[in-house]
């Protein structure tokens, strides 16, 4: 079964779907997980606060909460703060303090030197790296990440996911093999509007981590998947690469394959491999990346982890197993196995 389960569904027409939908897709893959981590990302879930950055915070102590809130009030305009709504759930225990904040970046603090998004990234790095027992679970606009230690369907019930409506949902069930199990280390991993669910292992984590440090990203969440969220932010938001080019960076072709490409394509592939050598991701992986306008599915260059896609009308599905797709859409119009290293992209229309 290759461990871990991932699933995603989006309406390219922007229809908002209940959180129950992604929960059903994850529940059918329970055997891929061992109860040590589950989580979900939803997009379009905060329409009343759509222009605000929604920070989901995980605190290990009241002192961490007090220090973080003082920092947020200093750096942002905090228009609303509240505990993340939860319910008592069998199978979920030792939960940390879970709060969410709806923030605006004050223009006078940017001084023309930073974009709002860069300002937010800097704040996330500060909290994660410099405030003990405080971690930012998500920090995008009109989206949120809900994750913890437990089976995915239990995490969903704990966070009352059925009460949310979103146009894109991703889900993850964890089977950790070489990293600790804790609330902040569950998937998805997020930064701004990016969220990543991952099945596999990033054996290039050390190289990727050092490469990202050159651009101001600090990895503090004790698991390899964190680098993927930052790599997508760097390559797409900051360097304006398209997803096809991002795939050629993360899942770089072998050099002998590059040599056989047509001339124009060969020059581009060579340039990407040379320029972004430190962003090359080694190891088996299947990922789904959510972002503000859609989602992307991608596997490693030789597809050592499974990924299945499906479509039905305006809906795009991605999952580790076909059964997860059919659990929420029994008769999709089409189901296929994406090729290794080639992205499957869903985008909002209009």
Q: What residues act catalytically?
A: 4
Identify the residue whose tokens are 């929420």: 328
Distance between CA atoms of residues 188 and 288, nearest Å: 9
Distance between CA atoms of residues 43 and 49, nearest Å: 12
Distance between CA atoms of residues 282 and 196, nearest Å: 17
CB 209 within 8 A of CB 224: no
CB 1 within 8 A of CB 313: no
Strands (E), 72-121: 77-83, 97-104
Those residues with Cβ within 8 angstroms of residue 116's Cβ, 6 or more apart along the chain or in another chain: 105, 110
Identify the residue whose tokens are 């056989």: 260
Distance between CA atoms of residues 259 and 215, nearest Å: 30
Distance between CA atoms of residues 3 and 181, nearest Å: 15
Distance between CA atoms of residues 76 and 121, nearest Å: 13
Pairing of strands 168-173, 134-138: unpaired
Structure-block tokens of residue 317: 């599905």
Distance between CA atoms of residues 77 and 174, nearest Å: 35
């Amino acid at each position: 079964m290759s461990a871990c389960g991932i699933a995603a569904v989006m309406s390219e027409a922007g229809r908002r779907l209940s959180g129950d939908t992604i929960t059903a897709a994850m529940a059918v893959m329970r055997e891929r997980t061992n109860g040590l981590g589950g989580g979900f990302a939803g997009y379009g879930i905060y329409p009343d606060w759509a222009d605000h950055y929604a920070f989901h915070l995980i605190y290990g102590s009241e002192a961490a909460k007090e220090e973080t809130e003082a920092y947020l009030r200093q750096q942002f305009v905090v228009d609303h703060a509240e505990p993340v709504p939860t319910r008592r759930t069998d199978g979920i225990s030792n939960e940390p303090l879970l709060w969410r904040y709806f923030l605006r970046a004050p223009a006078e603090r940017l001084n023309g030197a930073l974009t709002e998004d860069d300002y937010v990234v800097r704040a996330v790095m500060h909290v994660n790296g410099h405030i003990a027992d405080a971690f930012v679970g998500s920090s995008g606009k009109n989206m949120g990440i809900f994750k913890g230690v437990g089976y995915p369907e239990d995490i969903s019930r704990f966070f009352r996911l059925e009460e949310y409506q979103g146009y894109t949902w991703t889900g993850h069930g964890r089977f950790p093999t070489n990293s600790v199990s804790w609330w902040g280390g569950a998937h998805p991993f997020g930064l701004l509007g990016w969220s990543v669910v991952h099945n596999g292992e990033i054996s290039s984590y050390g190289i990727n981590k050092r490469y990202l440090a050159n651009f101001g990203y600090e990895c503090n969440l004790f698991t390899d998947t964190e680098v993927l969220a930052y790599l997508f932010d760097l390559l797409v938001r900051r360097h304006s690469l398209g997803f096809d080019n991002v795939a050629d960076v993360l899942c770089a072709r072998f050099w002998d394959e590059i040599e056989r490409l047509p001339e124009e394509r060969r020059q581009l592939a060579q340039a990407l491999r040379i320029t972004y050598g430190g962003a090359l991701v080694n190891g088996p992986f299947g990922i789904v990346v959510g972002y503000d306008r859609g989602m992307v599915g991608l596997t490693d260059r030789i597809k050592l982890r499974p990924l299945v896609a499906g479509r039905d009308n305006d809906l795009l599905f991605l999952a580790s197993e076909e059964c997860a797709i059919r659990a929420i859409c029994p008769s999709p119009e089409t189901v296929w196995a994406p090729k290794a290293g080639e992205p499957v992209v869903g985008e909002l229309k209009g």
